[in-house]
């Protein structure tokens, strides 16, 4: 039997990583030591999290091979989980849908659904200890209960150990936060790490975003901003807000935020940027810098800046990066996630995905400048001590109003039957006003997640979700 050594997390009594000694024979990972090593910290009991409609349950041959390989290289995983299908493949990980075979071995106090079931069924087994004999092959079939599904995120070895640890620690910090997919537990075997999350049934964004009504959009963003408010309250920047990282069930109007692989605590790797100063302080600093470099202040800022190039965190996904990320602001805040959420909203309102489609950061700045105009873009660059200058003819000084862009993108930019310019209906106008608050170029002026939940666009969404119905009552 393998020796197992639970590893506690920085002075906490709770087991965070479950570590298995890989030097031993083929013993399974469920055979671990001690009655107090219950790391199954609890995942939410919502039925939509645990149930499956079976749509993800048929792997093709290549995926089957991949699953076999995973089972063979991650010793013990097959005894603990029944791997069903591959449901995601990202830059840093592969995600599998699986059934939690040992669900009954944990004291799942938190599970309301399970409590209901247990009124009619024998009580669940207590946590198994070493030497208790073999485990049953499945739990669902043996008990006639609904299987408990999980998402197993296999984090690639190539992903740095610090990055992996960071993702797990932040997820751990965020346990219990509304609309954030919680970490159940994590396993390490040799140099591989897997994170176990509740499986959240959701639909592919591309399959529904074009058909969303304004009421659907309100619900979507209420759920997303609830998650962001919780994350930001912990001073955590997600850094990669995009549709594939917000798993949404449009029928239920509920979503969960996943993928904290790029997330970080505010202030990590951060050096002061003049964007935090007042306008006059900023001006003074720029003039002092110019004096030091011998530049003339006539143009405002030096064109040939002899200072070393700036290093800043640019993590994120093309098309979703905030201007301050593109401009290499060295003091980025949680507001970068608000910008990315704005990009999702613009995508939905314009019915175009991806909306921004740049190959690199320069192109991305050009795309943003085309909308906001060169005047505002210059001011935005200056805010972070950078310069924006362009001679590209498509970038006008004033840019375009977001309402115009949405009308144009949805083929409503002509005249109506009365010969008048088409206008957006009032609910979409309200959505655009909200979007403008997410798209403030100055992060300090940009709306926060908490404020967003109080904005008229999101504040009046009813519990059952339908804003329009609530209004009519």
Interface residues toward ligand ATP, by CB under 6 A: 87-88, 90-93, 95, 151, 153, 181, 197-200, 244-245, 247, 258-259, 261
Q: Please state, in angstroms and rounded to a whole number, the distance separating the CA atoms of residues 101 and 78.
A: 9
Per CB under 5 A, 171 contacts Zn ion? no
Residue 462 binding partner per list Mg ion, ligand ATP, Zn ion, none, with a CB distance cut-off of 5 to 8 Å that depends on partner kind: none
Residue 186 binding partner per list ligand ATP, Mg ion, Zn ion, none, with a CB distance cut-off of 5 to 8 Å that depends on partner kind: none
Per CB under 5 A, 180 contacts Zn ion? no
Q: Please state, in angstroms and rounded to a whole number, the distance separating the CA atoms of residues 52 and 62.
A: 22
Stretch that binds Mg ion, among 103-111, 141-149, 258-266, 435-443 (CB under 5 A): 258-266
Reduce the DSSP state of residue 126 to 3 states and report it: coil
| HSE, side-chain direction, 13 A CA sphere, residue 458 | 22
Residue 275 binding partner per list Zn ion, Mg ion, ligand ATP, none, with a CB distance cut-off of 5 to 8 Å that depends on partner kind: Zn ion
Cα dihedral sign, 440-445-449-450: negative
115: left (phi over 0), alpha (psi -120 to 50) or beta: alpha
Instruction: Please tell me which residue in 240, 259, 331, 468 is annotated as part of the active site.
Output: 240
CB 296, min distance to ligand ATP, A: 46
Q: Report the residue from 100, 259, 324, 403 that binds Mg ion according to the rule CB under 5 A.
A: 259
Residue 200 binding partner per list Zn ion, Mg ion, ligand ATP, none, with a CB distance cut-off of 5 to 8 Å that depends on partner kind: ligand ATP
DSSP 155: E
Alpha-carbon distance values, 99 to 57, 106, 148, 372 (Å): 11, 15, 6, 48
Per CB under 5 A, 326 contacts Zn ion? no
Q: Report the residue from 275, 349, 402, 431 that binds Zn ion according to the rule CB under 5 A.
A: 275
Q: Which of residues 378-407 bind Zn ion (CB under 5 A)?
A: 384
Contact present, 346 and 431 (Cβ < 8 Å): no
Q: Which of residues 81-110 bind Mg ion (CB under 5 A)?
A: 90
CB 434, min distance to ligand ATP, A: 25
Strand arrangement, sheet containing 7-8: 7-8, 15-20, 185-189, 192-198, 149-155, 93-100, 81-89
The nearer residue to Zn ion, 102 or 338, going by C-beta atoms, is 338
Contact present, 60 and 66 (Cβ < 8 Å): no
Burial of 317 (0-12, 13-18, 19+ CB in 10 A): middle
The pair of structure tokens assigned to 201 is: 């049934």
442 is catalytic: no
Residue 273 binding partner per list Mg ion, Zn ion, ligand ATP, none, with a CB distance cut-off of 5 to 8 Å that depends on partner kind: Zn ion
Q: Which residues bind Mg ion (CB under 5 A)?
A: 90, 245, 259
List contacts with Zn ion (CB under 5 A): 273, 275, 329, 384
């Amino acid at each position: 039997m393998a020796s197992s050594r639970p590893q506690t997390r920085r002075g906490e009594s709770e087991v965070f990583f479950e570590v298995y000694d890989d030097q031993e024979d083929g013993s399974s990972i469920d055979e671990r030591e001690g009655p107090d090593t219950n790391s199954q910290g609890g995942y939410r009991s919502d039925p939509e999290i645990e149930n499956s409609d079976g749509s993800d349950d048929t792997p093709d041959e290549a995926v089957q091979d991949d699953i076999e390989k995973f089972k063979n290289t991650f010793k013990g995983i097959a005894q603990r989980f029944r791997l069903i299908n591959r449901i995601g493949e990202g830059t840093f990980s592969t995600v599998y849908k699986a059934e939690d075979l040992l669900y009954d071995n944990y004291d799942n106090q938190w599970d309301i659904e399970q409590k209901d079931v247990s009124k009619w069924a024998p009580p669940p087994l207590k946590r198994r200890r070493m030497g208790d004999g073999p485990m049953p092959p499945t739990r669902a079939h043996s008990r006639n209960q609904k299987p408990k599904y999980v998402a197993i995120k296999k984090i690639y070895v190539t992903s740095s150990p610090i990055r992996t640890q960071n993702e797990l620690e932040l997820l751990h910090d965020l346990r219990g936060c509304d609309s954030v997919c919680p970490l159940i537990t994590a396993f390490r075997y040799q140099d591989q790490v897997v994170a176990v999350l509740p499986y959240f049934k959701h639909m592919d964004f591309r399959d529904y975003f074009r058909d969303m009504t304004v009421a659907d959009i309100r619900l979507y963003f209420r759920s997303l901003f609830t998650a962001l408010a919780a994350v930001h309250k912990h001073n955590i920047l997600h850094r990669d807000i995009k549709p594939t990282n917000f798993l949404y069930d449009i029928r239920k109007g509920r979503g969960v935020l996943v993928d904290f692989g790029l997330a970080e605590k505010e202030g990590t790797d951060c050096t002061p940027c003049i964007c935090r100063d007042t306008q006059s302080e900023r001006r003074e600093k720029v003039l002092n810098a110019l004096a030091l470099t011998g530049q003339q202040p006539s143009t405002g800022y030096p064109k040939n800046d002899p200072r070393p190039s700036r290093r800043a965190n640019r993590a994120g996904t093309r098309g979703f990066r905030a201007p301050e990320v593109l401009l290499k602001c060295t003091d980025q805040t949680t507001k970068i996630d608000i910008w990315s959420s704005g990009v999702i909203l613009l995508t939905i309102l314009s019915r175009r995905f991806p909306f921004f489609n740049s190959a690199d950061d320069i192109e991305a700045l050009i795309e943003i400048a085309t909308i906001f105009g060169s005047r505002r873009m210059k001011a935005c660059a200056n805010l972070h001590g950078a310069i924006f200058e362009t001679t590209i003819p498509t970038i006008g000084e004033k840019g375009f109003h977001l309402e115009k862009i949405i009308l144009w993108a949805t083929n409503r930019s002509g005249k109506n039957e009365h010969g008048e310019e088409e206008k957006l209906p009032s609910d979409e106008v309200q959505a655009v006003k909200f979007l403008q608050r997410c798209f403030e170029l100055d992060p300090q002026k940009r709306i926060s997640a908490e404020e967003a939940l109080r904005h008229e666009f999101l504040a009046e969404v009813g519990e059952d979700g339908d804003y329009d119905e609530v209004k009519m009552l």
